[in-house]
């Protein structure tokens, strides 16, 4: 994965070493079960394949390493004609919607409504609810951009989480694109560049 100083568009065709990503995950890293169902449902709808366990409990914690394996399997099954990173990006769109539709997401985002700046103030809390390892911090807000630092986020921040922030732009009716500055496989800055 290229590590750079400047924000760039993600390279969806770049190789993805899944085994390396899984090895890097701390043993205590977890994610809520609700983030498994959407990708699995999409993979099944598109291919008939159903990766993962038979079921997941929405607010139960599951190993983050399992999440990465399931996401990659779902991306490959659901989007076989695009690079795996592109498939993961598309699955990230669903993750944002899943969180918004959850009880915690509805309560948290009820204060923001469709206000983009108010929602930016909720990024850190949203990530804290999704999983106890890692942080998401808004480090810059200008009239034409917002920069979020994803630190110790191991479930594919350079592709899956790009999709999360693209879905957020769409939901909050902001015209823009999501760029990345990759520091490491678990440390990525996301720039929501507004037009």
* Secondary structure of 114-135 as H, E, C letters: CCHHHHHCCHHHHHHHHCCCCE
The verdict on residue 178 lying in a domain is yes
Give the integer Cα–Cα distance in Å for 84 and 12: 8
Cβ neighbours around 76 below 10 Å, total: 17
Task: Residue 123: give its domain's CATH number.
Answer: 3.90.1520.10
User: Could you give the CA distance from residue 56 to residue 38 in angstroms, rounded to a whole number?
Assistant: 11
Domain count, the chain: 1
Q: Residue 53 domain-assigned?
A: yes
Boundaries of domain holding 141: 18-194
In a domain, 150, yes or no: yes
- Domain contains 7: no
- pLDDT value of residue 5: 63
Domain assignment of residue 11, yes or no: no
User: For position 148, what pLDDT does the model report?
Assistant: 97
User: What dihedral angle (degrees, nearest 10) is formed by the CA atoms of 190, 76, 91, 30?
Assistant: -80
What CA–CA distance (Å, rounded) separates 127 from 166? 16
Residue 4 lies inside a defined structural domain of this protein? no
Strand order in the sheet with 135-142: 135-142, 145-151, 187-194, 176-184
Q: Could you give phi then psi for residue 34, rounded to 5 degrees?
A: -60, -25
In a domain, 71, yes or no: yes
1, part of any domain:
no
Whole-model pTM above 0.85? yes
* pLDDT tens, N- to C-terminus, the chain (195 residues): 444 468 999 999 999 999 999 999 999 999 999 999 999 999 999 999 999 999 999 889 999 999 999 999 999 999 999 999 999 999 999 999 898 888 888 888 888 888 999 999 999 999 888 877 799 999 999 999 999 999 999 999 999 999 999 999 999 999 999 999 999 999 999 999 999
């Amino acid at each position: 994965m290229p590590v750079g100083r400047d924000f760039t568009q993600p390279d969806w065709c770049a190789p993805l070493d899944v085994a390396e990503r899984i090895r890097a995950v701390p043993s205590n890293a977890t994610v809520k079960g609700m983030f498994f169902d959407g990708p699995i449902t999409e993979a099944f709808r598109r291919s008939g394949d159903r990766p993962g366990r038979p079921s997941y409990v929405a607010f139960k914690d599951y190993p983050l390493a399992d999440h990465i394996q399931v996401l990659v399997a779902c991306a490959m099954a659901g989007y076989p004609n695009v690079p795996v990173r592109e498939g993961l990006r598309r699955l990230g769109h669903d993750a944002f919607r899943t969180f918004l539709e959850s009880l915690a997401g509805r309560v948290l985002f009820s204060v923001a409504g469709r206000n983009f700046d108010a929602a930016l103030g909720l990024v850190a809390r949203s990530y804290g609810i999704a999983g106890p390892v890692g942080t998401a911090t808004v480090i810059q807000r200008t009239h034409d951009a917002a920069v979020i630092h994803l630190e110790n986020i191991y479930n594919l921040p350079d592709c899956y989480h790009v999709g999360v922030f693209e879905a957020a732009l769409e939901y909050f009716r902001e015209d823009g694109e999501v760029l990345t500055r990759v520091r490491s496989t678990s440390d990525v800055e996301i720039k929501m560049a507004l037009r």
